[in-house]
């Protein structure tokens, strides 16, 4: 079985993180590309969304991922931020669906658990582990880019039992994968 290519999308209206990673569960990972799609905060919302959508389309065309992993949007106190983030997540889902590329949504705690083994890790810990796991010389910047890579890693390393995950015996899971499974179970209970 060959490597699986995942495009991670950290949705955001000003900066949308994009990261492409090749790998298999429990195997070495390779970063293919990392960056951000941006839109000017002073532009009209329709033009901002159009600009981000075009970038996502270009990444899908250029990198031909097998799956797109997108951060699941949660409501917080900043309604305008959540709206823009949700709109960008929707654009990425539609762009993938147009190409019949499967989409997976992962919560922030699932991503943190998959990458660091701790569902409550801070951004610096996630960035450090992304850098190590992908054998990069320095942390991907800005943080949105590192988050996109973390989403791709999370999807590649999702444990057995997750929707669409390869089935493996529990003893073959890494500590991070076991933590991810626990975080996924907790998120389902809250839903």
Question: Of 71, 110, 147, 184, which is the active-site residue?
Answer: 71
Active site residue 147: no
What is d(CA 186, CA 48) in angstroms, rounded to the nearest whole number?
35
Dihedral of CA atoms 50, 55, 61, 67 in degrees, nearest 10, equals: -100
> Is there a binding annotation on residue 71?
yes
Active site residue 137: no
Question: Of 22, 53, 110, 144, which is the active-site residue?
Answer: 144
Edge-to-edge order in the sheet of strand 30-38 = 30-38, 15-23, 4-10, 67-71, 103-106
Name the residue among 102, 147, 95 with its Cα closest to residue 121.
147
Active site residue 71: yes
What is d(CA 167, CA 184) in angstroms, rounded to the nearest whole number?
16
Question: Of 10, 22, 53, 184, which is the active-site residue?
Answer: 10
Residues marked as binding? 10, 71, 144
Catalytic positions, written as ranges: 10, 71, 144
Residues marked as binding for Mg(2+)? 10, 71, 144
């Amino acid at each position: 079985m060959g490597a699986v290519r995942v495009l991670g999308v950290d949705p955001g209206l000003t900066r949308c993180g994009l990261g492409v990673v090749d790998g298999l569960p429990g195997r070495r990972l390779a970063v293919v590309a990392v960056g951000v799609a941006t839109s000017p905060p002073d532009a009209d919302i329709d033009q901002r969304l159009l600009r981000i959508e075009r970038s996502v389309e270009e990444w899908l065309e250029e990198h031909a991922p097998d799956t797109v992993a997108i951060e699941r949007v949660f409501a917080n106190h900043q309604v305008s931020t959540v709206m823009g983030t949700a709109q960008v997540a929707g654009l990425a889902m539609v762009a993938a669906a147009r190409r019949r590329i499967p989409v997976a949504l992962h919560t922030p705690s699932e991503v943190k658990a998959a990458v660091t083994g701790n569902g409550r890790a801070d951004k610096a810990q996630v960035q450090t582990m992304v850098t190590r796991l992908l054998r990069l010389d320095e942390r991907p910047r800005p943080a949105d880019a590192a988050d996109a890579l973390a989403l791709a890693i999370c999807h590649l390393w999702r444990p057995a039992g997750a929707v669409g995950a390869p089935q493996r015996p529990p003893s073959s899971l890494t500590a991070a994968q076991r933590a991810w499974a626990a975080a996924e179970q907790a998120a389902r209970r809250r839903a």
